[in-house]
Amino acid sequence: MAKDSMEYNESSIRSLDWREHIRLRPGMYIGKLGDGSAKDDGIYVLVKEVIDNCIDEHMMGYGKTIDVKITDQRVVVRDYGRGIPLGKVVDVVSKINTGAKYDSGAFQKSVGLNGVGTKAVNALSNYFKVQAFRDGHTKLAEFKKGVLTHDPKQAKSSERNGTLVEFEPDNSMFKNYHFIPEYLDDLMWNYAYLNAGLTINYNGRKFFSKDGLLDLLKNKSDAEDIRYPIIHFKGDDIEVALTHGSQYGEEYYSFVNGQNTTQGGTHLAAFREGVVKAVRDFYKKEFDASDIRASIVAAVAVRVQEPVFESQTKTKLGSINMAPDGPSVRSYVGDFVAKELEIYLHKNPSVADALQKRILQSERERKEIAGIKKLANERAKKANLHNRKLRDCRVHFDESKDARSKETMIFITEGDSASGSITKSRDVETQAVFSLRGKPLNCFGLTKKVVYENEEFNLLQHALNIEDGLDGLRYNKVIIATDADVDGMHIRLLLMTFFLQFFPDLVKASHVYILETPLFRVRNKKETIYCYSPEEKEAAIRKLGNKPEITRFKGLGEISPEEFGTFIGENIRLQPVMIDKEKHLVKTLEFYMGKNTPDRQDFIIENLRIELDTVEETEEEAVVEE
């Protein structure tokens, strides 16, 4: 390195203003940027930061309605609270560490406490507008990437008190971003569940909940699968709901001050401990904790005076007290759950009987596979030493932290050519590759014993480290990367069946994705454009003109490692695997992956012609000009 480039003097020191710092280090304020394919991508954090302020007003007793409109590019949020004090409208969205939430008397149990939220939204938006309405007057301000562009004087207004915020995410920061409707629906429902009496009007639909977390579990659970009626408790600053189903794994929804803590924290750990203690005390038996919690579906929400989260995105609660001079969250939640659940079981013997049967069933299943599980674990360790099925990434996880907070991903692919191309072009720091051997087994209707008996499944679950739940998950994104042909689609379905059958919480927690790869390459001597649909291909042809060369990719193996680097890098396109809430999971799996039925035959016949017409049209257009 040249000596001059290493000089360290006064000129090396520079001060960034708030806007520059946010734009230079967005991860400090909103986590990752992303394109909207993941639930925790930055564009959703921007939406949350704005709505959180409206929720805080509602919690303080001001405003029972929030209007939200979200289109492809623009977000508009209007609340009917007190409205930002007119003389501070510009300051609260453009001066760091400025806000009312430092005063615990004004916002006792607020979501946002550090005065950053809307400043980050402002700095990371191509267009940002804030307008406050208070007592017959209004004040608005407009910004571009955090820079004030319009600052008119206060004016009279007949509008109801409250605040309007409108913004467009900066597409130079959030490249190729898109909002996924299901993620936004979940966000609005969570706000409704956690704020009784609040109405959210979102894109013409009404989101309202009367019974809070009870409604949440009713919406998240299959009524035909739950073993007993949902148990629902409320206390001072705490609300819980739980039941047991028939699925494998544990499924939790946890919240702090209205924030969905997707990575849990002390409150969720305390809830899980409280359930185990209540069951052991009630039945007077030391059941294994894993048997007690197997197939549980639960939600817990707490209100904490000064919450401490492990990051600005507030996805995991730290070890704190309920209030500065109050009990710890861990002891408060654990004691409440243990006490209330034991009392409930005494009062409801039929529920107690159903719960015991579920626990005993889990115990039998665990003991049945104990022997084969031990052998399978030994085989997995040996396989990891002697073969290259898993090309791991270099990130070494801190065992004290949740790996899901890291931007790591694993590609599950089939065939040496495809896995070879991805392996050569991946980011070895954060991207791993798992190579399948042939088509996976159709595991629908089989017990978890098959996961240990089948070598591919056994090695896959060990690669992901999900044998005992999601706490040890080694990769934030599990990406199915198969060819876009019939065989590839079949492998994709078989893998999704495996995850939904034995690890549904992996899918429900939004960790499973499908890799989208381009169907066409359109190029001339000056430019190359990769197209993911016939429509994109036509646009590329129009742009390049003069009869460009058009190549249709029929499989991942046809894509060179150099090109693959483009598709799995910064501009990676991922399609999240989501479960349709309106459809019964078991019945859906049975229809597509169970024994052949006349209904499925009819479905295939009806859709086959549509698919064939599309393929024929695509093939005709995909002419390679050498």
Summarised one tens digit per residue, pLDDT across range 2-14 is 555 567 666 666 6
Q: Are residues 456 and 498 in the same domain?
A: yes
Q: Are residues 150 and 220 in the same domain?
A: no
pLDDT tens, residue by residue, 45-94? 999 999 999 998 998 889 999 999 999 889 999 999 999 999 999 999 99
What is the CB neighbour count within 10 angstroms for residue 447?
14
Q: Is the confidence at residue 112, as pLDDT, over 80? A: no
Q: Does the residue 7 lie in any domain?
A: no
Q: Are residues 569 and 532 in the same domain?
A: no
Q: Are residues 247 and 361 in the same domain?
A: yes
Q: Is the confidence at residue 490, as pLDDT, over 80? A: yes
Q: How far is CA 566 from CA 464, 517, 528, in A?
A: 25, 10, 12
Predicted local confidence at residue 143, as pLDDT: 97
Predicted local confidence at residue 338, as pLDDT: 97
Q: Does the residue 270 lie in any domain?
A: yes
Q: Are residues 624 and 559 in the same domain?
A: no
Predicted local confidence at residue 596, as pLDDT: 64
Predicted local confidence at residue 370, as pLDDT: 87
CATH of residue 403's domain is: 3.40.50.670
Q: Is the confidence at residue 487, as pLDDT, over 80? A: yes
Q: Does the residue 5 lie in any domain?
A: no
Q: Are residues 98 and 129 in the same domain?
A: yes
Q: Does the residue 8 lie in any domain?
A: no
Task: Give the confidence band of 109 by pLDDT, cuts at 50, 70, 90.
Answer: low
Cβ-in-10-Å burial (0-12, 13-18, 19+) of 574 comes to buried
Q: Does the residue 100 lie in any domain?
A: yes
Q: Are strands 125-134 and 549-552 parallel, antiparallel or unpaired?
A: unpaired
**Do 481 and 413 touch, CB atoms closer than 8 A?**
yes
Predicted local confidence at residue 4, as pLDDT: 52
Q: Are residues 267 and 287 in the same domain?
A: yes
Query: To which H or E segment does residue 66 belong?
Result: strand 65-70
Higher pLDDT, 377 or 191: 191
CATH of residue 145's domain is: 3.30.565.10
Q: Are residues 25 and 112 in the same domain?
A: yes
Spatial CA neighbour of 588 closest among 299, 217, 225: 225
Q: Does the residue 13 lie in any domain?
A: no
The average confidence (pLDDT) of the chain is 85
Q: Are residues 505 and 378 in the same domain?
A: yes
Higher pLDDT, 605 or 329: 329
Q: Is the confidence at residue 101, as pLDDT, over 80? A: no
How many whole angstroms separate alpha carbon 173 and alpha carbon 570? 11
Q: What is the mean pLDDT of residues 298-308?
A: 88
- Residues whose CB falls within 8 Å of the CB of residue 370, separated by 6 or more in sequence, listed in order: none
pLDDT tens, residue by residue, 444-454? 888 899 999 99
Beta bridge partners of 479: 411, 513
Task: Give the confidence band of 620 by pLDDT, cuts at 50, 70, 90.
Answer: very low
Looking at 191, 207, 223, which one is the last position of a domain? 207
C-alpha of 398 from chain center = 21
Q: Is the confidence at residue 278, as pLDDT, over 90? A: yes
Looking at 207, 223, 246, which one is the last position of a domain? 207
Q: Is 393 helix (H, G, I), strand (E, B) or coil?
A: coil
Looking at 145, 175, 207, which one is the last position of a domain? 207
Q: Are residues 530 and 561 in the same domain?
A: no
Q: What is the mean pLDDT of residues 118-135?
A: 96
Q: What is the mean pLDDT of residues 198-223?
A: 93
Predicted local confidence at residue 517, as pLDDT: 86
Q: Is the confidence at residue 115, as pLDDT, over 70? A: no
Task: Give the confidence band of 106 by pLDDT, cuts at 50, 70, 90.
Answer: very low
Q: Are residues 115 and 260 in the same domain?
A: no
Q: How many domains does the chain have?
A: 4
Q: Is the confidence at residue 428, as pLDDT, over 80? A: yes
Q: Does the residue 10 lie in any domain?
A: no
CATH of residue 297's domain is: 3.30.230.10
Task: Give the confidence band of 583 by pLDDT, cuts at 50, 70, 90.
Answer: low
Q: What is the mean pLDDT of residues 610-621?
A: 48
- Residues whose CB falls within 8 Å of the CB of residue 408, separated by 6 or more in sequence, listed in order: 393, 395, 430, 431, 432, 474, 475, 476, 477
Q: Are residues 333 and 274 in the same domain?
A: yes
Higher pLDDT, 563 or 151: 151
Spatial CA neighbour of 188 closest among 41, 51, 30: 51
Q: Report the percent of the chain where pLDDT is more than 90.
A: 51
By residue range, what is the domain housing residue 616?
Answer: 519-552+595-626
Q: Is the confidence at residue 98, as pLDDT, over 60? A: no
Predicted local confidence at residue 214, as pLDDT: 96
Q: Does the residue 607 lie in any domain?
A: yes
